[in-house]
Chain A
């Protein structure tokens, strides 16, 4: 195969279809997998911030028992604090640029590493921010009277019994198991969701990495 001849023909081809921009700003945003993932995560971060504000505002817009409101706000504060700490970390992380001027193999390895790390931080952030959510929601709905229990006790008494865990061991076990079940669903759902959305990029790069070794 005469590569010299091919080279000449390649160089003889018209290059008008691909144009160099007159300034860098004309270039659209990066379409590399890592950048695409980071951009999606940035918009998810923005969504999470809006959700945090809405959750905080809810008890001030909907009438709620004072005790439930207090507990709900404490739970929301803890959730918001955890989420915001992760988001701050992720914002720094998402702005990190990947070096692409090393060897090809090092570049692919670095991209896989960055992608996996980004995904892990993302998953942990979502899971950590969601684990208190079932308790918050239960508190909220009990507080606004949407959950009716078949008992002559007042809502406040029920609430006090619940938060002081004043109940039979069987009921306590049911609540713990129920919570663990919901937590497992949150964990599994987040992992699956992240892998489905972003995992394909890791797989593609891993396939490329294997090609170096074959």
Chain B
């Protein structure tokens, strides 16, 4: 697909929720999120010519965004200590002012413990991608997706439980 820079940026603005969700899912730190967010835009721009229009633009953007997140590594100097993953105090410091948002806070805190591939699976499950679509996007078999999805959901629930929360 050939898009002018302005058309491309308009499309990004329209679907920026995808980029935001992927960035938030993969990184906790705002600077890292911003870096990933920008990197995704850059990679989408570089790859836009490969979009053939056979699928929704949003689905294609999801795939490129997740691929970018998978091969993107945070800046070493900002790398947080891995041991703080279960630190419940960290959750309290986040900007979740409403009680009902505690669920999301616990979810994001638990997600930090997942691998990049597990994050990709959970994100696509949240977006209600079918097993076939997830398999196609990740490049693994549907059976493998099913097994991984089940295992990852269980792992996520287990982590959330250890945070003293359940949903």
Residues of A in contact with B (beta carbons under 8 Å apart): 1-3, 5-7, 9-11, 13, 15, 17-18, 20-24, 27-28, 30-34, 97, 99-108, 111, 201, 204-205, 208, 211-212
Contact = CB atoms under 8 A, between A and B. Distances in A.
Contacts of A18: 16, 19-20, 23, 33-34, 37
Contact of A9 (B72, B104, B118): B104
B68 A20 contact: no
7 contacts: A17-B34, A32-B72, A103-B138, A104-B63, A104-B120, A107-B70, A205-B71
4 smallest beta-carbon distances between A and B, as pairs: A103-B139, A105-B139, A211-B117, A101-B47
A21 B47 contact: no
Please classify the interface of chain B as helix (H, G, I), strand (E, B), loop, or mixed, using the class held by over half of its residues: helix
Contacts, number: 138
Interface of B: 5, 8-9, 12-13, 16-17, 19-21, 23-24, 30, 33-35, 37-39, 41-43, 45-47, 50-51, 60, 63-64, 66-68, 70-73, 75, 100-101, 103-104, 107, 115-118, 120, 125-128, 136-140, 153, 156-157, 167
A22 to B, nearest CB: 7
A33 B73 contact: yes
A9 B5 contact: no
